[in-house]
């Protein structure tokens, strides 16, 4: 979603909630509106400018429906910022630090992070097709005296990102791996 975007570029692109809603409208309906219930392609203005009301079944669909942002009570800009920080930081981020940075309670940050992780887990069943980028990283805390890629108190994780046409990111998959051996990585990629 935020591939290759620095924090400065992120802040320039997403200044307020309307910027976030505009981005989601373009992502959800790039070819124009299609009702998720009836499949009908004509709509009228919904409850707000980022809702679409189907002309056939009168369903008022919010752009947030069926996304990780569905049901969030915090401002959308804060949710975007948390998602950016969770996906852009290579070593992960504690929910205390995330909550402090965004200006929400630690519990709110924890719940949103779990929601993101759950959605990523559900997508695990979907196969990634076409071109993909892969990388591995360690998850776990710092231990003094232990440098490098030691798996003693950490877990190895493989991340794969699907590359769609026009340089967009498709599906993202995370998977626990036993080690960083080429045979292990190749086994999980095939």
Distance CA 149, CA 29 (A): 43
* Phi, psi torsion values for 167, nearest 5 degrees: 60, 35
Q: Return the CA Rg of the chain.
A: 19
Tokens found for residue 48: 């707000």
Residues in CB range of 121: below 8 A, 6 or more apart: none
| Confidence (pLDDT) at 143 | 65
Q: Running along the chain, 190 residues long, what does each successive block of 10 average in pLDDT?
A: 79 93 90 86 90 91 89 92 83 86 93 86 64 77 65 76 75 78 65
Residues in CB range of 32: below 8 A, 6 or more apart: 41
| Confidence (pLDDT) at 19 | 94
Of 62, 58, 49, which is closest to residue 18 (Cα–Cα)?
Answer: 49
| Confidence (pLDDT) at 178 | 77
Domain boundaries in the chain? Answer: 7-123, 127-189
* Cα distances (Å, whole numbers) of residue 91 to 16, 48, 69: 27, 38, 23
In the numeric block, the tokens 């630690």 are attached to: 106
Torsion region of 148: left, alpha or beta (phi above 0 gives left; psi -120 to 50 gives alpha): left
| Confidence (pLDDT) at 32 | 87
DSSP class of residue 121 equals H
């Amino acid at each position: 979603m935020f591939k290759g975007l620095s924090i400065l570029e992120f802040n320039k692109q997403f200044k307020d909630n309307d910027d976030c809603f505009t981005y989601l409208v373009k992502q959800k309906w790039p070819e124009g509106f299609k009702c998720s219930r009836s499949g009908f392609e004509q709509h009228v203005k919904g409850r707000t400018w980022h809702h679409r009301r189907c002309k056939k079944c009168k369903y008022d669909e919010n752009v947030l429906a069926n996304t990780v942002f569905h049901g969030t009570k915090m401002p959308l800009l804060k949710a975007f910022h948390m998602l950016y920080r969770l996906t852009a930081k290579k070593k992960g981020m504690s929910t205390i630090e995330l909550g402090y940075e965004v200006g929400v309670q630690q519990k709110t940050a924890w719940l949103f992070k779990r929601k993101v992780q759950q959605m990523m887990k559900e997508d695990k069943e979907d196969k990634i097709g076409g071109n993909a980028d892969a990388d591995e990283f360690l998850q776990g805390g710092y231990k003094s005296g232990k440098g490098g890629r030691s798996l003693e108190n950490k877990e190895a994780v493989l991340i794969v990102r699907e590359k769609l046409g026009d340089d967009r990111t498709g599906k993202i998959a995370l998977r626990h791996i036993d080690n960083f051996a080429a045979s292990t990585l190749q086994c999980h990629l095939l």
